[in-house]
Amino acid sequence: MLTPEHLWAELDSLQLIPRGFNDESGFNDESGFGSSRVQLAQASLPRKTVAVVESAVEQCNAWQASLALLRTLRGCGIEPTARAYNIAMAKCVRDGAWKQSLLLFDELSHSHSSALDGFSFATAIHACAKGRRWADALALLDRMCEMGVERGQHAYGAAISACARCGQWKVSLQLLEDMELEGVQPSIHCYNAALSACDKGGQPAEALSLLRRMSPRMPPDVVSYATAISACARDSAHWKTAIELLRQMEETGVRPNVFAYASAAAACSTGGAWEEALVLLGEMDVRGVLPNEVVYGAVLSACASQGQWKHALKLLSDMRLRKLRIDTPAINAAINACGRGRAWREALVLHGQLTASGTADVFSYGATLAALYKGGQYDKLLRLLEEMPNRGIKPNLACYTPVLSAFASTGEGDRG
């Protein structure tokens, strides 16, 4: 069986013994571990073994390595400390291995239940957030209360994030109130997570109310504003408010980033405000904020909603000049713009680009068929519909609607 001495020698050979360690007294003040280290269950093990085990887990770059080390130690009869578990749990969460993090928390609960602390719970709750398990996150928060473990900003923030990922905006807002009742000051992360919950839950009014509420207590940052603007983009009635928030950012000294502009452009798209969307795009260049594909996609959608096909084609050209990726949804939006603007020839050209690259989808066909119908090109419309099965694309209702409308217009729909 591996003894602590053998473990020490092996870790020493792998250069995993941390700086600041002293054989006689363990870690000195420069080690950063301090008095927070929880001792091994086997108190008879040398102090240096405790320290080296913790350091070895901490120095593992990948979560798989830290997990393997814990398993090896247990297999050798050496019980890892609670702190070693906490370190491994955090690595798992960091790398997206949230299930493994929760399994480690369960192991820690059985082996060191009395050593569970705020960090242990906060990490487990964060794992729940990664896995979109908001109910489990709330259960862990309740368990902290039952065990008398202080529920701080990190635990609450992780729980709010878990709820936000699932659009549980009511629960997120309630957690903020619970924090204040317990005398825990919500951090900017907590507020932003709650704003995200309102955004994902399609609650612009709640997001705006929360933004106003936090202003005197915790000045909103760029994420706060951008998330509130994103919430406004979900309701056409709030597109002007989205622009107002963008202006408010500048007044309060918060520089809008590309996400804030993209959200504002999306709000313009929802409200059909194509001119304002184009103004935002030009403003970005002036302010030195580089627009990305998301921004262009939102502005394209705004132009498409009002049939501004010339502007849509210009936007595609600008994207090529900027060497931005032009995906199928972007070209589909331009086809929609052409259709609404009765520019059926341009719509066909764009559709041809998609079919040539093999990236046309059912929405591409639906938009092009609609453009051909509005342009009175019924023969071309029928040929395009007949082409779809040959390309492995099954027509949907949006594809059949212009065809049926064409039949109705020519009187062919009345034939038996």
Going by the DSSP 8-state scheme, the letter that residue 149 receives in this structure is -
pLDDT tens track for 310-369: 999 999 999 999 999 999 999 999 999 999 999 999 999 999 999 999 999 999 999 999
76 in a structural domain: yes
Tell me the backbone φ, ψ of residue 237, rounded to 5 degrees: -75, -10
Q: What tens digit of pLDDT does each residue of 100-117 get?
A: 999 989 988 888 778 889
| Residue 41 pLDDT > 50 | no
The per-residue DSSP string of 211-242 comes to HHHHTTTS---HHHHHHHHHHHTTSGGGHHHH
Percent of the chain, pLDDT > 70? 85
Least confident of 26-35, 224-233, 339-348: 26-35
Domain assignment present for 268: no
CA distance 12 to 15: 5
User: Between these two residues, 142 and 59, which has the higher pLDDT value?
Assistant: 142
Residue 7: per-residue pLDDT: 53
Q: Report pLDDT for 114.
A: 82
Predicted local distance difference test score (pLDDT) of residue 12: 52
Taking CA atoms, 209 is separated from 186, 203, 378, in Å, by: 16, 10, 51
- Residue 208: what pLDDT? 96
| Residue 246 in this model has a pLDDT that exceeds 90 | yes
Amino acid at the residue 253 = G
Q: Decide if 292 is inside a domain.
A: no
- Integer angstrom CA distances of residue 308 from 19, 314, 339: 65, 10, 10
What pLDDT does 153 receive?
A: 92
Average pLDDT, stretch 244-248?
A: 96
Average pLDDT, stretch 291-311?
Answer: 97
Which residues, in sequence order, are CB contacts of 345 under 8 Å at separation 6+? Answer: 375
The pLDDT of residue 1: 44
Residue at token pair 């202080």 = 150
Q: Identify the CA nearest to 100 among candidates 80, 79, 71.
A: 71
Residue 211 lies in a domain: no
Mean pLDDT in the chain? 86
Q: Are 283 and 247 in contact (CB under 8 A)?
A: no
| Cα 356 to Cα 350: distance, rounded to the nearest angstrom | 10
Q: What is the pLDDT of residues 122-142, one digit of tens each?
A: 999 999 999 999 999 999 999
Of 57, 50, 55, give the one whose Cα is nearest residue 20.
55
Check residue 39 and report its DSSP letter. Answer: P
Q: Please report, to the nearest 10 degrees, the dihedral formed by the alpha carbons of residues 375, 379, 380, 384 taken in order.
A: 120
In a domain, 63, yes or no: yes
How many C-beta neighbours within 10 Å does residue 262 have? 25
Domain count, the chain: 1
Q: Could you tell me if residue 101 is inside a domain?
A: no
Q: Give Cα 312 distance to the centre of its chain.
A: 28
Average pLDDT for residues 75-88, to the nearest whole number?
80
Q: Is residue 61 assigned to a domain?
A: yes
Residue 51 lies in a domain: yes
**What integer pLDDT is reported at residue 284 of this predicted model?**
96
pLDDT at 58 over 90: no
Domain of residue 65, residue span: 1-20+37-95
